[in-house]
Structure 1
């Protein structure tokens, strides 16, 4: 496993980390025993950063990570998120009392007096330009409720606005072979501001595993079945906003680039790590085998210039028109 510094937090975190959305819910049926086995295997392999949220299974994901903290002696960093419990999810809800209540609930779920990292969870765009919201978070740091804070965003313009606030330590943004805009329009600014970048949705909701087909069934409670057009939340969260058929076509063009002995998923994760501004990719995993496959990507050799150029061509030919102007 390799490690990179997470911006101004000073944390050294594994370049392949653990995204805990899938073990909470909205990805079909989950098995807690398998989820716990996956979490334990992650620690075994040197993964030391776990990303969750209070709405993943209504706190279930956080509570599983608390169980991991209880069962293991190794120290690791936990990032959670706050804000999506708001109903309605409006900018005015991002205020001191609400955020305090959300963070206190996460502290209880995670059994942590002080949270390592709290991220605003894809709030309405206007929130990123409201200094009073970030002043509230500064107050929570001073109180000892949280050590650091960051943001999770949908769009590059939101990320750029967020890092104007000096104590924003991290930005979590969708970045993968189907979402290249952050590299073009955000990474340099993040580097200059000493902001850590967490690459979320790194496998485009499973498209970049190469295992999905046109007739792959998805359970009714899987967002890949009910949110393809943004019916429940931002369309970009599902398949990175790419039309499913187009995504499958792009995958077939990427397959020949995968080195012998590797999987497409590993190739896609290693591609992300070719960008030094990215601190880590946070793929999900629901069993130990998926964790092992993800972790192995960190130790693959660097991709060569031809491979990088070929990914760019696939993006330009098939994907750019669908996503580049939207996020």
Structure 2
């Protein structure tokens, strides 16, 4: 496993890390015993950064990570998110009182005195113009509740706005073979400011693993069934906002250029890691073998310039027109 600096946190984190959404819920049924096995496999593979949120299984994912922290003697970093417990989810809800309440709950779930990294959880765009929100985060740092803070965003314009706040340590954003826009301007700006970039949805909700076909079905409690058009939350979180069948066609083209010896998932993860502004990528994993497969992408050979260029061409041909302008 290779490690990179996570922005202003100063943490040296595994470039392939672990996303904890799937072990919380809305990805079909999952058993805690299997999830713990996946988390333990992650540590065995050298993964030391774990990303979760208070709403993943209503705290279930956070509590599993607390168990992991108690079970391992290795140093791990756990990042969580706050804000999506708001109902309705409005900019006005991102106030000092609510944020402190959410953080106190996460401290309890994670069984820690201080959170390594707290991220605003894809707040409405207006929040980035509310200086008092970031002042509240500063106060939590001063109080010792959180060590660092960052943001998780839906749109590149939100990521750019977040960079205006001096102490934003990290930005989490969707970036993958189906979502290229962050690399246009944001990556260079974040790198210039020393802000870490955490890439989520790296496998486009599994589309980029190559394991799906047009006949694939998903459980009722799987967002890939109920959120394809954004019925529950931003549609960009499901298959990266790409039409399922269009995505399948693009994957067929990508499989033709996949380097020998790599799985499709490893190819997709390595493509992200070829961008040096990226701090880490956070694929989920409900099963140990998935975690092991993902982790191996770190030590795969670099992709050739020809392959990188061809990925761009496939994006331009199949994907760009339907997603590039939206996020």
Shift of 1:185: 2.2
Q: Distance in 1 between matches of 2:257 and 2:6?
A: 30
Query: How many residues are treated as equivalent by the alignment?
Result: 327
Hey, what does 1:96 align to over in structure 2?
96
User: What secondary structure does 1:80 align onto?
Assistant: strand
Shift of 1:167: 0.5
Say if 1:265 and 1:294, in contact at 8 Å, map to a contact too. yes
TM-score of the superposition, structure 1-length normalised? Answer: 0.99
Shift of 1:134: 0.1
Question: Structure 2 matches for 1:35-74, cutoff 5 A?
Answer: 35-74=35-74
Shift of 1:262: 1.2
Q: Distance in 2 between matches of 1:112 and 1:287?
A: 26
What are the Cα deviations for residues 3-53 of structure 1, in whole angstroms up to 9, with x where unaligned? Answer: 000011100000000000000000000011110001001001100000000
Shift of 1:215: 0.9
Gaps of 5+ in 2: none
Hey, what does 1:83 align to over in structure 2?
83
Say if 1:7 and 1:170, in contact at 8 Å, map to a contact too. yes
Hey, what does 1:281 align to over in structure 2?
281
Q: Distance in 1 between matches of 2:185 and 2:241?
A: 18
Matched, 1:299 2:299: yes
Q: Distance in 2 between matches of 1:322 and 1:12?
A: 36
Say if 1:129 and 1:162, in contact at 8 Å, map to a contact too. no
Shift of 1:257: 1.3
CA RMSD of aligned residues (A): 0.5
Question: Structure 2 matches for 1:161-200, cutoff 5 A?
Answer: 161-200=161-200
Q: Distance in 1 between matches of 2:322 and 2:112?
A: 42
Q: Distance in 2 between matches of 1:169 and 1:270?
A: 24
What are the Cα deviations for residues 95-132 of structure 1, in whole angstroms up to 9, with x where unaligned? Answer: 01100000000000000100000000000000011111
Hey, what does 1:246 align to over in structure 2?
246
Hey, what does 1:146 align to over in structure 2?
146
Which stretches of structure 1, 4 residues or longer, exceed 4 Å deviation after superposition? none
TM-score of the superposition, structure 2-length normalised? Answer: 0.99
Shift of 1:261: 1.8
Q: Distance in 1 between matches of 2:257 and 2:20?
A: 29
